Chains A and B, each alone.
Chain A
Amino acid sequence: MTQPQPSLRIDAVAAKSNGKDGHPDNYAIETRNLNIYYGSFKAIADVSLKAQSQKVTAIIGPSGCGKSTLLRAFNRMNDFVHGSRAEGEILMHGRNLYAPDVDPVEVRRRVGMVFQKPNPFPKNIYDNIAWGARINGFRGDMDELVERSLRSAALWDEVKDKLKESAYALSGGQQQRLCIARTIAIQPEVILMDEPCSALDPIATLKIEELMRELVKQYTIIIVTHNMQQAARVSDETAMMMLTDNSRSGTVIEMGPTNSIFTRPADKRTEDYVTGRFG
């Protein structure tokens, strides 16, 4: 396995783009003609979307249209499904994540993921965060890293006295914030969120949405959600996905600033969906 190129590092690349809009390096994640197959079944058809750095991009659409599949392609989690393959390109700051010399392990370090159901490890709170850091070779001050990550996840005050207690003693919302803390501890560039609030109560959901607005100052966030109001609340850009008319493949039918998508959608199907006529 050859070593990946260091150009996955954001600061090396940000310098090149000079913050110019439309410059490919400014897109944290960009797909070009992406098709994803499970065996012979085409799950994702011809998706070309761009997610800007340090913005929240939401992917919405009816259930079963492939939103999670698309999201999981961004950190190569689909690799674990037997028989899955991707055609086309997924670029992170201009670098193709599916190039043959790219190490998926490194991709997952740079592109973190928070799952639908909180899944902390059966360890204590401290170790949940320290574990990811350790295996990625962290040699600095672990206590400081844990505190910093928990503060960034708006969880520090609630758990600072019980760091050595089991993570399962926390409530659902706290567990999800712990998972977020764990992800940012390894300092990714992009955070993918797969319906992160669907298993949580409204108050916990609100806390996480507030957290997202803070996190986006440092990270790029791509969130899949079936809750349109949530998409309207938290995201800067929205992509609308649907199953194409004749097939079982999902594709992005429209993408744009969240405001436009929800008030003046270009596609009739998008309009039907956001106004609740179906879904």
Chain B
Amino acid sequence: MTAPAGYPEGPALQASIGARHRWGAISRTVFLAATCIGILSLVALLYNVLDRTYGLVAYEFKTDPATISERPLEELNKAELVAVLQAHISKGAFNKLENDKPFANRSREEVFELIMERVVQIKVIETWTLTDSLLRQAEIEQQVKDEHPDAILQTRAWVTTDFITTPMSSKAEFAGVRTAILGSLWLIAITIGLALPIGVGAAIYLQEYATANWINRLIETNINNLAGVPSIVYGMLGLALFVRALEPLTSGAAFGVTDSNGRTILSAALTMSLLILPLIIINAQEAIKAVPDSLRQASYGLGATKWQTIWNHVLPNALPGILTGSILAISRTIGETAPLVVIGASTFITVDPDGPFSKFTALPIQIYQWTSRPQSEFRNIAAAAIVVLLVMLLALNAAAILLRNRFSRRLY
């Protein structure tokens, strides 16, 4: 047996093997680090958002709250607060408030807010992040004392139930996301109502009925391509088609709704449906593909028609997968911003949406708007809105997993 020529031996061999193992160890660490960078980014993102949801705020008042009533405002009941309010704003303004929403229907907190807004005219000077508020508290206090001697410093939580239930306002300190949440919910409801049946229908057609001819192959390729089209292109399509060309339909004029244009929830929902349709179709196709053929054979073997087989056997079996897919689609719908901006979602409306033909705003639109403003308090409420959005998404996905597990178990 000849010794191998050309291969390293002895110390050279050990050196080369050692080098190879060293490279292996280094690379393994590098690969792991790369994976962790992704996770660290997520942590940084969450930290960055949460950091602005709670912190010190410097307020200035036009009217000192201590001077408008003998007892502190916090101790007054609703009737007394209404009296305070009436005493300090003009008659016309008070009557307008009464007309908009009678004081009998308003909660004590709402009246309190009104006093803060109209009478005290509270104004935010500056806000600080939680980290700053914790670490540099003394420094901040000194800074405020030096620059704004009349201001008071308080900690404020920006994500509160008030935040969720209050409608929009042009002032950051009083703004809430109610209109936006309702707008998003309306949007989701109509979008899913349109996209789900059509998407699942298309998937059923492609998997169960379609033969391998050119038109069906074209449809499949087409769907794959549509899934990759940027969402803003869908927005442009929606603008030209639903908002402009089909204005009589989408503004509700055809149904007798007056005083409206094409920039309605319906237009947005139609656009979003087109956007998520490829997603739903591809997902549902996978779910239907996964149904074992033996199930279909059993059904046909008993003399069932194609539709009976699909409706009674294939669909129920594919249901968990289809549900998961629709939840993914809803998650996408909630988070999409660009098409809605192009369609013309309102950036400032205070009236809750009341139907498919109303103007609307949505949560991501609010976030976009508020982030674009330079004042620091808008960063805070943007962060608060982001928290609301992420919680909604989390809840949705958790519901998806629960639903899917529940349906998976029911079949057996």
Query: What B residues does A106 contact at CB under 8 A?
Result: 17
Interface contact B17-A105, CB-CB below 8 Å = yes
Size bracket, chain A contacts: 20 to 34
Contact surface of B with A, Cβ cutoff 8 Å: 1, 3-10, 12-14, 16-18, 20-21
Query: What B residues does A11 contact at CB under 8 A?
Result: 1, 3
User: Does A63 touch B at the CB level, under 8 Å?
Assistant: no
Q: Given A3-B14, A10-B1, answer yes or no on A139-B21 (Cβ-Cβ < 8 Å).
A: no
CB < 8 Å neighbour of B1 from A14, A139, A141, A145: A14
Query: What B residues does A135 contact at CB under 8 A?
Result: 20
User: Does A46 touch B at the CB level, under 8 Å?
Assistant: no
The residue in chain A whose Cβ has the minimal distance to the Cβ of B5 is A140
* Cα separation A137 to B8 with both chains bound (whole Å): 6
User: Does A171 touch B at the CB level, under 8 Å?
Assistant: no
Report 11 cross-chain contacts, Cβ distance below 8 Å, ordered by A residue: A3-B14, A6-B9, A6-B10, A6-B13, A106-B17, A133-B6, A133-B7, A135-B20, A139-B8, A140-B7, A141-B6
Q: Which residues of chain A from 103 to 136 have any CB-CB distance to chain B below 8 Å in the complex?
A: 103, 105-106, 133, 135-136
Query: What A residues does B13 contact at CB under 8 A?
Result: 6, 137
* Cα separation A140 to B13 with both chains bound (whole Å): 15
* Cα separation A161 to B47 with both chains bound (whole Å): 64
Interface contact A105-B20, CB-CB below 8 Å = yes
Interface contact B1-A3, CB-CB below 8 Å = no
* Cα separation A140 to B5 with both chains bound (whole Å): 7
Interface contact A138-B17, CB-CB below 8 Å = no
* Cα separation A162 to B6 with both chains bound (whole Å): 25
Interface contact B21-A187, CB-CB below 8 Å = no
Interface contact A218-B18, CB-CB below 8 Å = no
Query: What B residues does A140 contact at CB under 8 A?
Result: 5-7
Minimum distance in angstroms from A52 CB to a CB of chain B: 14
Q: Mark A178-219, 1 if CB is under 8 A from B, else 0.
A: 000000001101000000000000000000000000000010
Q: Given A3-B14, A11-B3, A137-B16, answer yes or no on A105-B21 (Cβ-Cβ < 8 Å).
A: yes
* Cα separation A136 to B14 with both chains bound (whole Å): 11
Interface contact B10-A138, CB-CB below 8 Å = no
Minimum distance in angstroms from A195 CB to a CB of chain B: 27
* Cα separation A239 to B5 with both chains bound (whole Å): 34
Minimum distance in angstroms from B59 CB to a CB of chain A: 60
Interface contact B1-A218, CB-CB below 8 Å = yes
Interface contact A136-B3, CB-CB below 8 Å = no
CB < 8 Å neighbour of B7 from A10, A103, A137: A137
Q: Given A3-B14, A14-B1, A218-B1, answer yes or no on A138-B7 (Cβ-Cβ < 8 Å).
A: yes
User: Does A169 touch B at the CB level, under 8 Å?
Assistant: no
The residue in chain A whose Cβ has the minimal distance to the Cβ of B4 is A187
* Cα separation A10 to B21 with both chains bound (whole Å): 24
Query: What A residues does B18 contact at CB under 8 A?
Result: 1, 3
Q: Which residues of chain A from 256 to 277 have any CB-CB distance to chain B below 8 Å in the complex?
A: none
* Cα separation A14 to B20 with both chains bound (whole Å): 29
The residue in chain B whose Cβ has the minimal distance to the Cβ of A140 is B6
Q: Given A10-B1, A218-B1, answer yes or no on A139-B6 (Cβ-Cβ < 8 Å).
A: yes
* Cα separation A3 to B3 with both chains bound (whole Å): 20
Interface contact A3-B17, CB-CB below 8 Å = yes
* Cα separation A11 to B10 with both chains bound (whole Å): 13
Given A3-B14, A189-B1, 13 other A-B residues pairs in contact with their CB atoms under 8 A: A1-B18, A6-B9, A10-B1, A105-B20, A106-B17, A133-B6, A135-B20, A137-B7, A137-B13, A137-B16, A139-B8, A140-B7, A187-B7
Query: What A residues does B1 contact at CB under 8 A?
Result: 10-11, 14, 189, 218
Interface contact A136-B7, CB-CB below 8 Å = yes
Q: Which residues of chain A from 1 to 39 have any CB-CB distance to chain B below 8 Å in the complex?
A: 1, 3-4, 6, 9-11, 14
The residue in chain B whose Cβ has the minimal distance to the Cβ of A188 is B4
* Cα separation A232 to B20 with both chains bound (whole Å): 42
The residue in chain B whose Cβ has the minimal distance to the Cβ of A1 is B21
Interface contact B5-A103, CB-CB below 8 Å = no
Query: What B residues does A105 contact at CB under 8 A?
Result: 17, 20-21
* Cα separation A14 to B3 with both chains bound (whole Å): 12
Minimum distance in angstroms from A220 CB to a CB of chain B: 10
The residue in chain A whose Cβ has the minimal distance to the Cβ of B12 is A137
Query: What B residues does A137 contact at CB under 8 A?
Result: 7-8, 12-13, 16
Query: What B residues does A10 contact at CB under 8 A?
Result: 1
Interface contact B20-A138, CB-CB below 8 Å = no
* Cα separation A105 to B19 with both chains bound (whole Å): 13
Query: What A residues does B12 contact at CB under 8 A?
Result: 137
Minimum distance in angstroms from B103 CB to a CB of chain A: 70
Minimum distance in angstroms from B12 CB to a CB of chain A: 8
Query: What A residues does B6 contact at CB under 8 A?
Result: 133, 138-141, 145
The 9 closest A-B CB pairs, nearest first, are A140-B6, A187-B4, A3-B14, A137-B16, A137-B8, A138-B6, A139-B6, A1-B21, A140-B5
Minimum distance in angstroms from B325 CB to a CB of chain A: 32
* Cα separation A3 to B5 with both chains bound (whole Å): 21
Query: What A residues does B8 contact at CB under 8 A?
Result: 137, 139
The residue in chain A whose Cβ has the minimal distance to the Cβ of B7 is A138
The residue in chain A whose Cβ has the minimal distance to the Cβ of B22 is A1
* Cα separation A14 to B4 with both chains bound (whole Å): 15
* Cα separation A6 to B5 with both chains bound (whole Å): 16
Query: What A residues does B5 contact at CB under 8 A?
Result: 140
